[in-house]
Amino acid sequence: MGEGLLSLMRRGDAYQVRYASTNPYALDPPPVFYHDTATLAALLHCWEIDAWSIHQAMATVRKGSVAVLPVHVTAAQLQAAFRTDAPQPPGDVGRASARPSIEGI
Q: 88-105: per-residue pLDDT in tens? A: 554 544 444 444 444 444
For residue 10, being part of any structural domain is answered with yes
For residue 44, being part of any structural domain is answered with yes
Q: What is the b/e burial string over 71-87, where b = at least 16 CB atoms within 10 angstroms of the residue's CB?
A: bebeeebbebbbbeeee
For residue 103, being part of any structural domain is answered with no
More confident: 67 or 97: 67
Q: CB burial class (10 A; 0-12, 13-18, 19+) of residue 11?
A: middle
Domain ranges, residue 64:
2-81
Strands (DSSP E) contained in the chain are: 2-11, 14-21, 32-34, 67-73
For residue 67, being part of any structural domain is answered with yes
Which neighbouring-strand residues pair with 18? 7
For residue 96, being part of any structural domain is answered with no
Residue 85 has pLDDT above 60, yes or no: no
What's the whole-model pTM score?
0.74
Query: How many domains, in total, are found in the chain?
Result: 1
For residue 88, being part of any structural domain is answered with no
